[in-house]
Amino acid sequence: MKKVLVTGGGGFLGSHLCQRLINDGHTVFCLDNFITGSEANIEHLADDGRFHLLKQDVIDKIYMEVDEIYNLACPASPPHYQADPVRTIKTSFLGALNMLELAKQVKGKIFHASTSEVYGDPDVHPQPESYWGHVNPIGIRACYDEGKRGAETLCFDFHRQYGVKIKVGRIFNTYGPNMDPHDGRVVSNFIVQALSGQALTVYGNGGQTRSFCYCDDLIEAFVRMMNSPDDITGPFNLGNPEEFTILELAERIRGILGSNCSIVFKPLPQDDPRQRRPDISLASEHLGWRPQVRLEEGLKMTIEYFDRLLSKQGGNI
């Protein structure tokens, strides 16, 4: 059994990871400042003696004896990371620096949650890890894109210079329970709008594509990557290679709910990627991992979560 630090542990993915690690018998230290995370996501763990909450910002240095670190701390949706772009890039870079310094001190392993956004608006499709990306370094999304790219650089320099044991996973679009209803991501947007009887908002013409991975599948990839041999560093693409247009996603959600809500179209945001689909050959080969939850099944579980949340809050999210 290990002592594991999860930064951003109160967030969407962090909360699922904390639960998984507790289920696996580990002692978990959850670090979060709750700027975008929610204590409600982890309140059910509060009475477990193996779970410890640290209300702290990953930008601030910390020392503690742990065996493994999962660095997930960073706003991950455009409305959140664009709300305070300077803080976003500081969280990405300084947060990664602090966690790498800690891993170096304790001689532990670190999994760094990177993102498909390192590929920007890609010229290559699907995106393999060998593709270096097509990113606007001064655009409104750059605080996140370049912050994550710089954090990857740090990871590999710490690995080469100091021998730190790193694992870098590039996360593609993920969805599921514990998503923030106001995070501005397309799955949560559509579900909340449909449940509230509103029109679904589609940006652009809806022909842009995404690949949607259910949260449980992604957490399985995190754990497998952390448990892989030390010479397996990544970066690995972690996501579902099934590709859907945004309009197809809207129709899936309307179909599951039996809703006839309308669709409204708005201008496409600056630098919004036209296509996004991972090549997961490396993760499949080295981790024996492929997503198992199909979109229809995952959407039903996510809709049930938001429906409960809506009922709990009196119809208002």
Residues annotated as catalytic (active site), given as ranges: 144
**Could you tell me which of 26, 35, 117 has the C-alpha nearest to residue 70?**
26
- 75/61 Cα distance (integer angstroms): 19
Alpha-carbon separation of residue 266 from 143, 199, 293 (angstroms): 24, 12, 31
The dihedral formed by the CA atoms of 76, 78, 116 and 236, expressed in degrees to the nearest 10:
0
Cβ atoms of 166 and 155 closer than 8 Å? yes
Sequence letter at residue 1: M
Alpha carbon 276 to chain centroid, angstroms: 15
Alpha carbon 179 to chain centroid, angstroms: 10
Burial class, 178, CB count within 10 angstroms (exposed 0-12 / middle 13-18 / buried 19+): buried
- 223/235 Cα distance (integer angstroms): 15
Sequence letter at residue 40: A
**Could you tell me which of 81, 110, 111, 87 has the C-alpha nearest to residue 271?**
81
Alpha-carbon separation of residue 294 from 118, 139, 217 (angstroms): 25, 34, 10
**Could you tell me which of 307, 290, 309, 287 has the C-alpha nearest to residue 299?**
307
Measured CA angle at 13 (ends 9, 221), to 5 deg: 115
- 236/239 Cα distance (integer angstroms): 10
**Maximum distance among all Cα pairs of the chain, rounded to whole angstroms:** 58
DSSP class of residue 301 equals: H
